[in-house]
């Protein structure tokens, strides 16, 4: 099954749980999309997909500029992975496919 879809996600950040809607679009081995939450929306950039795994970069601007590096695996409708946030280290990310 493709990683493409819309996911309700929770990222365990140092500022508490961050809820977001992650939209992933797949074209060949490239993934694009957005991750929209209370802090605004970020573009999925430099995305790569390999089977049921995907990785990408997001450039956060609020509350501070930071490059976020995501690595996830999709199993059915469940998304699990991590988001690396510079000096803050890795944060767990989970999600459930909505469509």
The pTM of this model reads 0.94
Q: What tokens does 36 get? A: 């929209």
pLDDT at 28: 95
Question: Before 63, cis peptide (omega within 30)?
Answer: yes
Is residue 6 a contact partner of residue 22, using CB atoms and an 8 Å limit?
yes
Q: What tokens does 81 get? A: 């992975």
Please give the Cα distance from 62 to 80 (Å, whole number): 24
E strand or H helix at 42: strand 40-50
Please give the Cα distance from 49 to 71 (Å, whole number): 10
pLDDT at 61: 87
Q: Per residue in 41-54, pLDDT tens? A: 999 999 999 999 99
Q: What average pLDDT does this structure show over 11-30?
A: 94
């Amino acid at each position: 099954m493709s990683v493409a879809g819309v996911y309700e996600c929770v990222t365990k950040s140092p500022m508490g749980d961050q809820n977001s809607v992650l939209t992933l679009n797949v074209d060949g081995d490239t993934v694009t999309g957005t991750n929209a939450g209370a802090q605004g929306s970020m573009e999925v950039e430099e995305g790569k997909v390999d089977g049921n795994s995907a990785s990408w970069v997001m450039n956060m601007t609020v509350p501070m500029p930071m490059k976020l590096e995501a690595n996830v695996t999709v199993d059915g409708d469940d998304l699990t992975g991590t988001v690396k946030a510079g000096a803050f280290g890795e944060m767990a990310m989970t999600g459930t496919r909505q469509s």
